[in-house]
Structure 1
Amino acid sequence: MATTLVWLSKIRNEFYRMQFSYLSYSKNRVFDFICLWLLPIGFLLLLSDLYFLPGRSIHHKLYYGLFSIPTLIAIILRPRELKDILREPLVLGFILLSLWSIVSLIWSNTQDDFVGLVRPALHMLMLYFGCSLMVKYRADILQPLFFSAAIIALIATLYNLWVFLPNSPEARMIGAGAFDNPLLSSHAFGFFCIYWLALGMTCKRAYVLLIAAPAFLIMFAAILATGSRTPLVAVVLAMVWLSFICWNRRSLALISMLVGGGIVVMTMFSEMILGRGSSFRIELWQMALVLIEQRPWIGYGYDAALSLQPQGIDEILSEPHNFALGVLYYVGILGFLPWLFMQVWGLYSSWRHRVQPLFILASAWLVYGIGAGLTEGGGLIPRPKEHWYLLWIPLAVIAALNINLRLKTLRGRAVNRLPEPAFKTLEAHAQVIEEDGLGPKVLRLENGNFLKLFRARRCYTSGSFNPYSERFAVNSERLQAIGIPAPKILDLYLLTDGSSAVLYQPLPGQTLRQVMQSMGSASVRQALVERFGKFLAQLHDKGVYFRSLHLGNVLLMDDGEFALIDIADMRIYPSPLRNALRQRNLRHMQRYPEDRRWLFEEQLPELLQGYATLASPTAVEGLRQQVAALTQMAKV
């Protein structure tokens, strides 16, 4: 009887363990799908779908369904992600602003329900959280994503300009899609106008500049076609900011273009700029300031009614047409301080990290938004619409960049130019470790450091956005952050011919292939393979998918620990690798005859035994079946 009870207890425990393992595996797969695919798609549509959707309501639903709600699900599945996100001052500033806004509902005379007013703040908070998760786990996709959104906007803008051309000079272009107002349309056109301008200031290759310059002119022409003056001021401010934050030879060209463009615009469009006077802006600001003086500290409350009617117009306006005055009216000085802090901190942190082009782009967007907010808007926390282009999207991107710079998922060092004479001098006194038909690939310099070269590709590749030298550097720092030894990065270079290079300090030791070749004892080799199996399971458990994994890229260091080298072609997933990726990793290793003989023919039991110390039985059995299937195919 006792034996039966013990047997039943074991069955029950095994059942619970399998259920828990399946639940954990499913949670990881859902989290991975959200971070790796759903959030990038949702963010791409957030940036670009106003250009082709028939209305804003669909824009809201797409954002909620593809970005905001998935972000909330991801945070619920893995709440520990909040630990890094909530350390960011920009996120804390927004939370403080939101909480104070909700508290202000106590004295607000709004007629809307509480849940309806809190919902926009939650969706905007998910913008911060979602951007942080997306950059953390798909940092490589951020620049292609911005570029794709800019291309969509450029094509739509060309169509809008073509349709608008037959109109009279006095007409103001609105644009197709969800746009219904010239001024609001100009915010979207200006957003991508600044993108092309920033790309032209930061690109390293001449052909990118040839694309960015005409794209900027097209988007700028769209701003002029809207007849809106506010974005012109914002573009000027962004150009001044870019000329200083980049400060290179292109800065002088940008300043010259700013002066020359200003003369041309004032000459050709002076009537549009000066003919409409102040459009009652000064009167609106004066009326708003009178109201603010009555409640300077706490304001009138979130979503409080506001009615402004300057003399000379019949329409009653509900916004002061100035972001700062709007914040002061609704939540007073106490709410204005965190709102102002977010913008100041965003610009300050971008200036500190200006070696990263993404900070330059996001800060230029923020400056553009600050400029546009001087004479436009006034709502506090709006639902997703054109106003998000001005402040909230740039601030969310900067917050995500700050968080992930601390987590080492982004490049945080400058890329220096290495002139041809300097490279030739290094090459002349270096030992060639690896080369191909195009020349040296890895050089050992006189001081013992290694210089690894990545040749420029003629055709388009993902390396155009994320050079392999930078991937190598980021992967090295990320591996070290999770406890896996990797080469220490010393510097990054861009060569005259467009190639890139990374300078690093090599790790002491030999490749595992060299060690296996020199081993005569079968028992020692078995012990080493078992240790390698455990190391392989550790990589997979930490989400490391090293596409080029083979014994020549695994180092056995002098202290007996394993390390990874040649790590440009690697990705770190949010969760332990799914079984399909684990099996694919082994398929790559089986392509090398010596690796296949040692690991999958002679010492397969030891490899699986070591792998089983950290991996689940399901993963071990999957690898066993994978090896058996490939072995059978090889025999056939």
Structure 2
Amino acid sequence: MQLSYLNYSKQRVFDFICLWLLPVGLLLLLSDLYFLPGRSLHHKLYYGLFSIPTLIALVLRPKELRDILREPLIAGFLLFAAWAMVSLIWSNTEESILGLFKPPLHLFMLFAGGTLLVKYRSDSLQPVIFGAAVIALVATLYNLYMFYPNHDPQLRMIGAGAFDNPLLSSHAFGFFCIYWLTLGMTCKRPPALFVAIPAFVIMFVALIATGSRTPLVAIVMAMVWLSFICWNRRSLALISMLAIGSVVVAALFWDMLVGRGSSFRFELWQMALDLIAQNPWIGHGYDAHLSLTLSEHPEYPLSEPHNFFLGVLFYVGLLGLLPWLFMQAWGLYSSWRHRVQPLFILASAWLVYGIGAGLTEGGGIISRPKEHWYLLWIPLALIAALNIGLRLKTLRDRPVHRLSDAAFNTLASHAQVIEEDGLGPKVLRLQNGNFLKLFRARRCYTSGSFNPYSERFAVNSERLQAMGIPAPKILDLFQLRNGSTAVLYQPLPGQTLRQVMQSMGSPAMRQALVERFGKFLAILHDKGVYFRSLHLGNVLLMDDGEFALIDIADMHLYPSALRIALRQRNLRHMQRYPEDRRWLFEEQLPELLQGYATLAPAPAVTSLRNQVMALAQTNAP
């Protein structure tokens, strides 16, 4: 009994981490620098709400490491981090060895936590990123409001919150500038485009206000990348905007672009190259002391070469550079391969921006959470998590095609209407026997706008099939001009369980079928399948005798077996239908409980019985 309770508690803790803590931790990681008073609190929030919870989750369920370690990008990071730790042998660092092991561990937790988030709560990813972008947008508006009324041409804007440097501030502004630009390139609904364009302009103005030039180059690189990775009519507009913007920026901000010259970066790079030449293969060691003194400013020695590439070469040499370059190359390659998924487009655009911004900035190869994470580690961790999510079927992996009004009318005119409402048909049986299911457009502030129900239907179907539970075979996804979406699928052969029960005359056959259904229900709950619309009309008895699920758009898959409250809620929905209640919870209740008890834990069976008895007493005259 104690072992069962302990296992149940572990499942609940794991679920809470994956479903709630990690989304909150990611939201704050992306946005809290904009409003926190300092980086120290930023570190603590990341450790407490993301890194440490991820570590706890991996301790509770070590098998999750199997999927994480199979990802080539994560393997490249582990190789890079391992070589950096080995290089401590010849490093002249003055820091404690134990303290230097923490940053790579926290970075690995970023990769692992992102994977758990995409695997078990992928529907939260886009809302979380959007929420962080809105927080950044509001904070940026405040920064601009405070900066421009007393603007001095010699001043460079430093963001409020934890920002203390114009260049570091520009990384954060540019990060979300790329987000709004990517949203404008990938969104399929006009309201999103009307929000994305002014938001991009605001973030770009803030970027200009920092007076930093390298992020402008990085923005251009990201624009070029976006133009090709999501090639459409908007790509031409983006290229045109890029050309016009270049002229405007050069005309209005030419003094800012050339007034500070090279900022001594060429001298810094030459000094760094001279030091790299002393140990080109293995470098000087992770966290080795680096001091670059400019002859013009001998009183201010610099500890970074202001170039990520040179920083990697200095600390870990060519041997460490190879996995570092592999991570970026693999990230861009996999993003290009899977560009039908908008999140890959966004992550790769962030990575290209980071590569561009890293040309003249930084040098520390593994750092604690700060602005540099925007440039490299957050995009790489997101790409790695998305790669794993695609392999595990938790993300859409097929394109969404536009269905013109004429094409839809042609389909509808030759199709049989299976289901409709006051707005028109909802399910059509086409001439070839396939089904076209329509989902009405949702309001922009609902979850359906971030994760359309047609895509949920497709993802849920593929995930169920991967778990060994039959579901409709997805053929295509469509976007209609009125904002509705549709999924084309191949129906399964068979009848709904309600139809079968209605046609059965023998009580013994009905009892046997209900017992089998009870076992199937226990299998669903044990696998974490929470099907909110579960009733006998959405369960199919196929011709081969197996059960299947249909109409699965509002289904959720939990990381662990369903807790008792969710099981009760699931069954409560079935009790709303008179025929289902009579067959399952009145006439064949013993058989249902017997089948359910074959796999479900005893407390769940007891709770089901008590729930049915309570309902019977409520309905009693």
Q: How far did residue 128 of structure 1 move?
A: 0.2
Question: Equivalent residue of 2:293, what SS?
Answer: coil
* 1:78 pairs with 2:42: no
Which digits, 9 at most, give the CA deviation of each residue in 1:105-134, with x for residues without a partner? 000000000011010000000000000000
Question: Equivalent residue of 2:541, what SS?
Answer: strand
Question: Equivalent residue of 1:309, what SS?
Answer: strand
Q: How far did residue 394 of structure 1 move?
A: 0.2
Which digits, 9 at most, give the CA deviation of each residue in 1:341-392, with x for residues without a partner? 0000000000000000000000000000000000000001010000000000
Which digits, 9 at most, give the CA deviation of each residue in 1:32-75, with x for residues without a partner? 00000001000100000000000000000000000000000000
Aligned partners of 1:351 and 1:199: how far apart in 2? 17
Q: How far did residue 19 of structure 1 move?
A: 1.0
* 1:32 pairs with 2:15: yes
* 1:298 pairs with 2:296: no
Paired letter, 2:259: G
- 2:506 aligns to what? 521
Paired letter, 2:184: G
Question: Equivalent residue of 1:259, what SS?
Answer: helix
2:385 is aligned, of 390, 395, 400, to 400
- 1:46 aligns to what? 29
* 1:115 pairs with 2:98: yes
Aligned partners of 1:35 and 1:498: how far apart in 2? 32
- 1:265 aligns to what? 249
- 1:438 aligns to what? 423
Q: How far did residue 497 of structure 1 move?
A: 1.0
Question: Equivalent residue of 2:335, what SS?
Answer: helix
- 1:357 aligns to what? 342
- 1:9 aligns to what? none
Aligned partners of 2:8 and 2:609: how far apart in 1? 20
- 2:333 aligns to what? 348
Q: How far did residue 509 of structure 1 move?
A: 0.1
Aligned partners of 2:364 and 2:174: how far apart in 1? 20
Aligned partners of 1:457 and 1:204: how far apart in 2? 13
Question: Equivalent residue of 1:68, what SS?
Answer: helix
* 1:581 pairs with 2:566: yes
Question: Equivalent residue of 1:296, what SS?
Answer: coil
* 1:106 pairs with 2:89: yes
2:371 is aligned, of 382, 386, 391, to 386
Could you say what the CA RMSD is over the residues aligned between the two structures, in angstroms? 0.7
1:538 is aligned, of 508, 517, 523, to 523
* 1:598 pairs with 2:583: yes
Does the aligned pair in 1 maintain the 2:191–2:444 contact within 8 Å? no
Does the aligned pair in 1 maintain the 2:104–2:366 contact within 8 Å? yes
1:42-441 maps to which residues of 2 (within 5 A)?
A: 42-165=25-148, 166-314=150-298, 315-441=300-426
Q: How far did residue 311 of structure 1 move?
A: 2.2
Aligned partners of 2:74 and 2:510: how far apart in 1? 52
Does the aligned pair in 1 maintain the 2:443–2:449 contact within 8 Å? no
Q: How far did residue 459 of structure 1 move?
A: 6.0
1:550 is aligned, of 535, 540, 549, to 535
Aligned partners of 2:127 and 2:90: how far apart in 1? 46
Aligned partners of 1:60 and 1:538: how far apart in 2? 42
Aligned partners of 1:630 and 1:158: how far apart in 2? 55
Aligned partners of 2:61 and 2:295: how far apart in 1? 56
Q: How far did residue 291 of structure 1 move?
A: 1.0
More deviation in 181-190 or 450-459?
450-459
Q: How far did residue 458 of structure 1 move?
A: 4.5
Which digits, 9 at most, give the CA deviation of each residue in 1:139-159, with x for residues without a partner? 001000000000000000000
Q: How far did residue 230 of structure 1 move?
A: 1.1
Q: How far did residue 457 of structure 1 move?
A: 2.8
What TM-score, normalized by structure 2, do the two folds share?
0.99
Q: How far did residue 276 of structure 1 move?
A: 0.3
Paired letter, 1:29: R
Question: Equivalent residue of 1:362, what SS?
Answer: helix
Which digits, 9 at most, give the CA deviation of each residue in 1:545-600, with x for residues without a partner? 00000000000000000000000000000000000000000000001010001000
* 1:23 pairs with 2:10: no
Q: How far did residue 169 of structure 1 move?
A: 1.9
Question: Unpaired segments of 5 or more residues in structure 2?
Answer: none
Paired letter, 1:420: D
Question: Equivalent residue of 2:397, what SS?
Answer: coil
Kindly report structure 1 stretches of 4+ aligned residues shifted beyond 3 Å: none
Aligned partners of 1:507 and 1:514: how far apart in 2? 15
- 1:477 aligns to what? 462
Aligned partners of 2:153 and 2:572: how far apart in 1? 65
Aligned partners of 1:634 and 1:358: how far apart in 2? 50
Question: Equivalent residue of 1:79, what SS?
Answer: coil
Q: How far did residue 309 of structure 1 move?
A: 1.3
Question: Equivalent residue of 2:302, what SS?
Answer: coil
Does the aligned pair in 1 maintain the 2:308–2:359 contact within 8 Å? yes
- 1:7 aligns to what? none
Paired letter, 2:520: F
- 1:507 aligns to what? 492
- 2:554 aligns to what? 569
Which digits, 9 at most, give the CA deviation of each residue in 1:407-440, with x for residues without a partner? 0000000000111111111111111111111111
Which digits, 9 at most, give the CA deviation of each residue in 1:243-268, with x for residues without a partner? 00011000000000001001001111
Q: How many residues align?
A: 619
Aligned partners of 1:611 and 1:457: how far apart in 2? 37
Aligned partners of 2:246 and 2:106: how far apart in 1? 39
Aligned partners of 1:633 and 1:415: how far apart in 2? 48
Identity within the alignment, %: 79
Question: Unpaired segments of 5 or more residues in structure 1?
Answer: 1-17
Question: Equivalent residue of 2:359, what SS?
Answer: coil
